Amino acid sequence: MLKILFNRKTEDLPAGFAAAPGKPLGPGGPGGPLGPTAPIAPVKPLGPRRPFSPIGPVGPLRPS
């Protein structure tokens, strides 16, 4: 069953699947190999890092 879903998605998104065949299979295999893996990777480093950098060191440093 999983192989059928993966085969279908691979044909639809060959770029994403070929980009990281090990990453999407680990955290998001049965649920969605390209769904939870794609957003989790860019959201983690861009989410907490973006607001922390400008709001933390840049925010209190400028007004201080």
What is the pLDDT averaged over residues 58-64?
53
**Ranges of H-type helices in 13-48:** 14-19, 37-46
Give the count of domains, the chain.
1
Helices and strands (H, E) in the chain, number of each type = 5, 0
Q: Could you read off the pLDDT of 13-54 as tens digits, one per residue?
A: 544 444 444 444 444 445 545 544 444 444 444 444 554 455
Tokens of 25: 């299979």
Whether 62 has a pLDDT exceeding 50, the answer reads yes
Range of the domain at 53: 2-61
**Cβ neighbour number for residue 16 with a 10 Å cutoff:** 17
Confidence of residue 60 (pLDDT cuts 50, 70, 90): low
Tokens of 13: 């998104």
Q: Please give the model's pTM, rounded to 2 decimal places.
A: 0.10
- Could you give the 3-state DSSP secondary structure of residue 35? coil
